[in-house]
Structure 1
């Protein structure tokens, strides 16, 4: 009887709640956790929930963002139709009218102001196919040199450092599966517990296996709580701290002389510089006691294997590239690279931060990590595209420098794809002013973001649940994101939008794709023989194998789990060490009497980038519905700040109002504000526009500020 009842109940439930399952990947961080969305319908409403799917990276895990990722995709505020601004208000128009508006506006701008007056601003959250297509579109359909992307603000320092040192940038030189077996780990400026929580178990297993973990961070984050040793560095002094570690390693005999002799150049110059330094001076610069520097160096030097990981805390500085290079000097000096359980990992931030920087979105780049200034590279790609290599534009400028050109009216038209530069860029007041000067701005997005509000035309994009394509995770593992949910309203995939614009501009023959796989097959050929070689990867293989690590040069190749085992990617096969000064070329702001504190920025676990997607998720927004200022109790008392009260934070560029969070987990000379909020809580209003001379990364992590309770404003007046 019970079995009959259960059978009847299940049959009735299935009738009342028909179920659909959509395979996908999380749209947020670089782990790219595999997920499936279950959609159940009954008579009154639909219910959704996410489930993890086993995969080589997250092993079926997903975090709170992945759990609630579907919420923004089904949000009522999604842009569903093309919207044209008429007398300051957005009005629905047809796709053909929207495309004709783009055609007439871009053609007029290029006729009056020159080809390079129209720019393209891309994203590191789009698929490899779309990143590849966007670079091709800029150079073939628009013939402009001005294309860059928001990944310039995230991964450029690590990418340039790895390229300069190793000759190639693949986010992680090993695989995540090697982490539990290494003996010592340095986590520099990375808060994986909040930013990439699904890879934390790899580090926990390493610790269980006896690994010694060293964390470099001005805050005692949840990641720092994993550490055996926390080096609470002063913001902006990571390069100097690395010099201190190098000094101890070299002077106390931990250098691997055989490895250096056979596989590295520049060691003697580095040795001469660091041995001339005074460890007490480094303590004074960094705020890290000399004894802790010695302990960390000795532990890293003594162990047989070791890994170093960096992220935005080290990289988002005006000497971020140099700071990463100095940490790579440590790996090379100790021979901990290119072998089992030893290597370097750049903990990529955005979902496709690795792949999006490989195939042509960057100002100086062509697909396969080729250089746009290399004649052979230009000729190869031009042949793949079927164009004259002499007609390909040259090198452009970085994302923030494009905005400066908008402010100077050198760039007067912009195609903006899935990015929100008003919130993500430094010197946000200048960014907003510059965008308002444009003659024509078209934004492709899911929502009317803070930047899209300024657009003349908004085009509705598809979400991660609807847009199929490949992504490349933090390991360099290419994965296929299945996405079969129908597009809502009249929204289109980014690749379709790019192709449609190319068509109306008269270049449709170069963009006649019918599906993402068509684009990927062209990308494979374009990348062939390049540093980021995808030629051996196919959709069929990805579906069967779950992910393939590049380089994968031939269809039968299994992919490359560990790079640099026998040689580095420079022509001579050797890595290049470089002297890194304690004092950066671009001076950083120092606290003074007027602005006595150092401001650093970062993420919280419930939000992603500028918050456009996660702030549309009720479950995520409820966890952190407003920004905050983390401040040490002694510092709070000094400036009259109470816990949980509104405070004003000011720099030389502007001011914001956030709520205080008094915490002993931060340095006394430092305050922290997350960057996921806009308008009066946009922390990038406070950040200067100074750039790293090597990679053009803004210095988000070091700004001189002052704080005061908002209640004091009235008494001042």
Structure 2
């Protein structure tokens, strides 16, 4: 496949969308106004693009993004030179480290960074800073699914099969996901599934655009997905639909899982979830009787304080029905961020080293230390998870983090209990943000470093299938903008970790050189990229990991022969339902759940700067059922306050019968008065450390004259 097509005057580069984990193929024609074109030859999206992808080039305009470093002087951010900005950052980091110790310097990364940046950021934290205080916003994405997959299968990859396999399964249960709005080009595979005679079951408290495509929509109370999965397994067992031969040959731990399921009969599950027992039986029979089947989870069941157990219960359903480790069958997770998969494989997560290695494993430490040319004993141990790290910012005493480097993340909008997180960021002695735009988090920074974005740099990402792809530079960045790899190299040099006598490539800023080092560091790990090269990715439209050598074909389908556990058997999870960390009561009688809308992406830092997308989704809203609206006297479009134990958000009401009467919904893309994450609960899953974004207790209030005070784009703090 040719990388660049030369037209009469302009060059067109094959590349990928900067947004979600599909990493849709596209072509970008360079010029004064770069133009996005379809790329039908890429197998994931086959030319289809959503509005976000089609408008992605808007942010390449200099007026839409940062183009010069900024430093805070007398309370204001002012333009400065790169040497002065970097000197200030390095001096500040070194001063905090000298006064408080290495772990008082923190690093917070992002699930949209390329694999090269992820790798280099993790190495920078552990080698240049010597800190254990590193994590990333992907902890808020699919950490529960990752934890449950490792427990069940010994390995975590978003989808253990290509996305296109969805069209050929007999029955698919989609739990808490809405790809019609979050990754629209993927919806074709769900439509094709039904056209091929398969059954689509959607589990969601809302009747989303995806749920409208389903053969059966189960609408449970938020936070009860675990009970629902146990009830479905109960029906499989009662109806004789379990695959006893598969269970005996390829699993262990079924007895405890069976006992838990038998305590969750359909009528009991109906009382817990609100899903009628008849629908529960119908769904279980669809799944159990199909020749093949899949369960896909997304943020709904995962962003809970029991997310790991909840996903484990859905995996149990696959294992009991014999629908795992077989063609067109298995459990998978719809990863959210663009590099949500690769972002957790190569070292920016608090407990991991490159190649999906545990930082506590002596052999892993020795291998990676050898690649880095350092003593294994000098590497820090596992650090704290994302919310725990953010909560520690600016605190006095042991464990407090006093300086933070944020790269490619906007926690002021995306973190739970967001007003508290903004307060902790303000308490820092030094906050440094590297980003494309002046996000709400960057607005609080002491130093802001303008970085290159998707079309201005080359680097690899790993999509939700485990396909490693190459986003290629298509246009030059504006003068004054530098890559994150360059920034890390410059800071490492100033901190004495990349001295002239250091071996070549130690903190290189050439992405292909960094990727070559990443391949060596990943060798022998679960996410082994050794056999993947830029040239091979170009030739093959991406390569699936693990790929341990250049002759290996890659692994599009995992577990067909054995699971990645020591004995090759999958593990059932012994789990039982328990309530959410916070249930409604007399003071806060309603459930709040949060999510995304079609025209916006994640914290909105980029999409809220695209006029076309703002026109389609101009601001936050509160969705509530007509019966609830009538009872409270709420009118369509009128101001409505949502109040939790953590704060208050204000947005227009949107009245719809697509939601349960006991539940309200808010999208989380906006800052300001309508910031949904002002309300959300930071209660953490004990295994994954995932916060409970998807369910908390709230009440509604009718304010008077407050909505006009804010535009929904500023910081509430």
Q: SS of 2:350's equivalent?
A: coil
Correspondence for 2:10: 19
Pair 1:483-2:498 in alignment: no
Correspondence for 2:274: 287
* 1:512/1:318 CA distance change after superposition, 3 Å: closer
Correspondence for 1:554: 549
Pair 1:543-2:543 in alignment: no
Correspondence for 2:410: 420
TM-score (norm 1): 0.95
- Superposed displacement of residue 408, structure 1: 2.4
- Superposed displacement of residue 48, structure 1: 3.6
CA distance in 1, matches of 2:131, 2:560: 40
* 1:100/1:75 CA distance change after superposition, 3 Å: closer
CA distance in 2, matches of 1:500, 1:708: 51
CA distance in 2, matches of 1:618, 1:21: 25
Pair 1:112-2:99 in alignment: yes
Correspondence for 2:517: 522
Confirm or deny: 8 A CA contact 1:52 1:62 kept in the other structure: no
Confirm or deny: 8 A CA contact 1:22 1:465 kept in the other structure: no
Correspondence for 1:267: 254
Q: SS of 2:205's equivalent?
A: coil
CA distance in 1, matches of 2:364, 2:194: 45
Correspondence for 2:684: 691
CA distance in 2, matches of 1:514, 1:439: 28
Q: SS of 1:690's equivalent?
A: strand
Confirm or deny: 8 A CA contact 2:563 2:570 kept in the other structure: yes
Correspondence for 1:85: 72
Instruction: For 1:185-334, list aligned pairs within 5 A.
Output: 185-334=172-321
* 1:47/1:333 CA distance change after superposition, 3 Å: closer
Pair 1:661-2:648 in alignment: no
Q: SS of 1:465's equivalent?
A: helix
CA distance in 2, matches of 1:591, 1:205: 40
CA distance in 1, matches of 2:654, 2:78: 42
Pair 1:591-2:584 in alignment: yes
Correspondence for 1:472: 462
Confirm or deny: 8 A CA contact 1:50 1:68 kept in the other structure: no
CA distance in 2, matches of 1:709, 1:655: 12
More moved, 501-510 vs 266-275: 501-510
Instruction: For 1:567-578, list aligned pairs within 5 A.
Output: 567-578=562-573
Confirm or deny: 8 A CA contact 2:134 2:384 kept in the other structure: yes
Correspondence for 1:71: 58
Q: SS of 1:406's equivalent?
A: coil
CA distance in 2, matches of 1:299, 1:47: 48
- Superposed displacement of residue 49, structure 1: 4.3
Correspondence for 1:356: 343
Confirm or deny: 8 A CA contact 1:630 1:663 kept in the other structure: yes
Pair 1:34-2:33 in alignment: no
Q: SS of 1:349's equivalent?
A: coil
Q: SS of 1:76's equivalent?
A: helix
> How far does the alpha carbon of each residue in 1:270-316 deviate from its partner, in whole angstroms, 9 at most, with x for none?
11221133432211111101111111011101111001111001111
More moved, 676-685 vs 171-180: 171-180
Q: SS of 1:593's equivalent?
A: coil
Correspondence for 1:11: none
* 1:69/1:698 CA distance change after superposition, 3 Å: same
| Aligned with residue 143 of structure 1, among 119, 130, 133 | 130
CA distance in 2, matches of 1:546, 1:712: 55
Confirm or deny: 8 A CA contact 1:503 1:511 kept in the other structure: no
Confirm or deny: 8 A CA contact 1:122 1:416 kept in the other structure: yes
- Superposed displacement of residue 489, structure 1: 2.3
Pair 1:337-2:327 in alignment: no
Instruction: For 1:608-623, list aligned pairs within 5 A.
Output: 608-623=601-616
Q: SS of 1:121's equivalent?
A: strand
Confirm or deny: 8 A CA contact 1:153 1:316 kept in the other structure: yes
CA distance in 2, matches of 1:220, 1:75: 40
Confirm or deny: 8 A CA contact 1:183 1:212 kept in the other structure: yes
Confirm or deny: 8 A CA contact 1:56 1:547 kept in the other structure: no
Correspondence for 1:445: 435
Confirm or deny: 8 A CA contact 1:240 1:282 kept in the other structure: yes
TM-score (norm 2): 0.95
Q: SS of 1:636's equivalent?
A: helix
- Superposed displacement of residue 443, structure 1: 0.4
| Aligned with residue 487 of structure 2, among 481, 497, 503 | 497
Q: SS of 1:90's equivalent?
A: strand
Pair 1:99-2:86 in alignment: yes
CA distance in 2, matches of 1:287, 1:698: 24
> How far does the alpha carbon of each residue in 1:200-250 deviate from its partner, in whole angstroms, 9 at most, with x for none?
111111100110111000000010011111000110000000000011111
CA distance in 1, matches of 2:27, 2:34: 14
Correspondence for 2:452: 462
* 1:655/1:169 CA distance change after superposition, 3 Å: same
* 1:133/1:208 CA distance change after superposition, 3 Å: same
CA distance in 1, matches of 2:325, 2:16: 30
Correspondence for 1:8: none
- Superposed displacement of residue 39, structure 1: 4.3
Q: SS of 2:469's equivalent?
A: strand
Pair 1:533-2:531 in alignment: no
CA distance in 2, matches of 1:147, 1:303: 44
Correspondence for 1:5: none
CA distance in 2, matches of 1:202, 1:565: 22
Q: SS of 2:474's equivalent?
A: coil
| Aligned with residue 605 of structure 1, among 580, 598, 610 | 598
- Superposed displacement of residue 75, structure 1: 5.0
CA distance in 1, matches of 2:86, 2:25: 35
- Superposed displacement of residue 463, structure 1: 1.0
Correspondence for 1:639: 632
